[in-house]
A and B are shown apart, each in its own frame.
Chain A
């Protein structure tokens, strides 16, 4: 770990770093900053914020990510490799077990054409120049059934990647915030940011509860980064979507592996996802979409049919316009960073162990993160990340 920052250097500022956004991404970076002794505050909205961190599906997912940007594949594989270390550090610090597991994950196909399309897209992904090589298997029904004995006859086959896993993302969120407090990070709820000024080498941040000053800032406000970024000479084009999730009553453990659209939590409930709509009202909900998700789930696992659905919700995905993460630093306002991505759960170890030290040092490592600069939006057409 790096040593704490020199007090002299930051004496005119209240904080070394102000992280704007207290969801999983902002909390992961702030936790990483606290961990290396940075005087850090987190400026967050309140309880009614649209918060993907409480609506997400909690996969730590590798397979299928990175079509159109091979660097994203490598970045995701790195996160998968470091997740158990993050879980262990949080458990040691906070006594919260986030139930991280990496048994590998499946994507199941309910028709030959689905399976073929999946296999073709994974092959294209792997054939990209510079793509990180990792194991992935395309399996037929019988091969899947060996590891998922409860699949139904409609399952034609699937893909399996040993790097995939999942966590309890609500416990993870709680562990991060417990850890922030333990590191002495100032968490400030009800501090939505309306303006940021860069003056005399420091940032002055306007909130309803007064001005906050910091030597550096990290924009980690999800889709709101789109509005905040231009205040400090940055660019963060976002294209959020809405997703719906169903949750069943608790049942005995029956599923040893997470799937792209279905997983059993450590507490026994079964989560079923995940739809994608352009609607951005998280209070809205479309039952026909639930019906399709539930029907596909019971075709995958007929045993689910008799379980009751006890909860359902909509959430708004944080989603950069082209689906890939944005990590960037301001040229006009040195010390301002922006960080946004869809996968706040999957990429959390990188945010804590990689991004945070770079922010503390004052510069992103462009050899590793150059591809994620928002400058790509001015030079190339949007691609698709294949976000799950």
Chain B
């Protein structure tokens, strides 16, 4: 759905998405890295379980919620990637303690 423009070698940060290692660029938001990795959704809604993907990419819509390093309901579009970061999709309701 999305492809990166520019030099592929610029992707020097390794993150983990649902257990798979993925390369991202320094400065990518988590959401941008998710989209670039080929995913077109990042969460299932708490009410109906519908898959949802990021919409606004600027912190407003809350449709980019993911679990980052064990903390659920994070807005992926507002968090820059970091080496070794572990990301899982937000599956329905925010779990307690995660």
4 further A-B contacts with Cβ under 8 Å, apart from A150-B96, A251-B94, are A249-B94, A252-B96, A307-B94, A308-B73
Check B73 against A268 for contact (C-beta < 8 Å): no
* Centre residue among B46, B72, B94, B96 by max chain A CB count within 10 A: B96
**Contact residues of B between 53 and 82, Cβ < 8 Å to A:** 70-73
Q: Determine whether A78 belongs to the interface, using a CB cutoff of 8 Å to chain B.
A: no
Question: Which residues, 247 to 301 on A, are CB-close (under 8 Å) to B?
Answer: 249-252, 254, 268
The count of residues in chain B whose C-beta lies closer than 8 Å to any C-beta of chain A is 11
Q: Which residues does chain B contribute within 8 Å of A366, judged by CB atoms? A: none
- Majority secondary structure of chain A interface residues (helix, strand, loop or mixed): loop
Given A251, A254, A306, which contacts B71 in the complex, CB threshold below 8 Å? Answer: A306
In residues 33-64 of chain B, which contact A (Cβ within 8 Å)?
A: 46
- Interface status of A195 (Cβ within 8 A of chain B): no
Q: Looking across the interface, which residue of chain A has its beta carbon closest to that of B92?
A: A252
> Which 3 pairs across A and B sit closest by C-beta, in order of nearness?
A303-B97, A254-B96, A252-B93
Nearest to B73 among chain A residues (CB) is A249
Tell me how far the C-beta of B96 lies from the nearest C-beta in chain A, rounded to whole angstroms: 4
* Bound form: Cα–Cα A307–B96 in Å: 8
Q: Determine whether B95 belongs to the interface, using a CB cutoff of 8 Å to chain A.
A: yes
Q: How far is the CA of A268 from the CA of B92 in the complex (A)?
A: 13
| CB contact under 8 A between A250 and B96, given known A306-B71, A308-B73 | no
Residue of B nearest to A306 (CB): B71
Within 8 A of A (CB), among B7-48: 46
Contact with B95, one of A252, A302, A304 (Cβ below 8 angstroms): A252
On chain A, the residues within 8 Å of B94 by CB distance are 249-252, 307
A interface residues with partner B (beta carbon < 8 Å): 150, 249-252, 254, 268, 302-304, 306-308
User: Which residues of chain A are near B96, meaning CB under 8 Å?
Assistant: 150, 251-252, 254, 303-304, 307
28 contacts between A and B (CB under 8 A): A150-B96, A249-B73, A249-B94, A250-B46, A250-B93, A250-B94, A251-B93, A251-B94, A251-B95, A251-B96, A252-B93, A252-B94, A252-B95, A252-B96, A254-B96, A268-B93, A302-B97, A303-B96, A303-B97, A304-B96, A306-B70, A306-B71, A306-B72, A306-B97, A306-B98, A307-B94, A307-B96, A308-B73
A38 to B96, CA, bound (A): 49
* Complex CA–CA separation, A13 to B60 (angstroms): 54
Complex formed: what's the CA distance from A306 to B73 in Å?
10
In this complex, what residue of A is CB-closest to B94? A251
What residues of chain B lie closer than 8 Å to A303, measured between beta carbons? Answer: 96-97
Docked pose: A251 CA to B71 CA in angstroms: 12
- B93 CB contacts on chain A under 8 angstroms: 250-252, 268
Q: How distant is the Cα of A304 from the Cα of B97 in the complex, in angstroms?
A: 6
Bound Cα distance A303, B72 (Å): 12
Bound complex: CA A303 to CA B94 (Å)? 12
In the complex, which residues of chain B have a beta carbon less than 8 angstroms from the beta carbon of A252? 93-96
Q: A276 to B71: give the CA distance in the assembly, Å.
A: 32
- CB neighbours (8 Å) of B97 from chain A are 302-303, 306
**Assembly CA distance A252 to B98 (angstroms):** 11
Closest to A308 in B: B73
Q: Which residue of A lies closest to B72 (CB)?
A: A306
* Min distance, Cβ B98 to any Cβ of chain A, angstroms: 7
Q: What chain A residues lie within 8 Å of B70 (beta carbons)?
A: 306
In the complex, A303→B73 CA distance in Å?
Answer: 15
A contact residues around B95 at 8 Å (CB): 251-252
Q: How far is the CB of A309 from chain B (nearest CB, A)?
A: 12
Q: From residue B66, how far is it (CB to closest CB) to chain A in Å?
A: 14
Q: Considering only CB atoms, which chain A residue lies closest to B95 in the complex?
A: A252
CA distance A200 to B93 in the complex (A): 62
Alpha-carbon separation in the docked complex, A250 to B72 (Å): 11
Q: A302 vs B73: C-alpha distance in the bound complex, in angstroms?
A: 18
Most buried by B among A150, A252, A302: A252
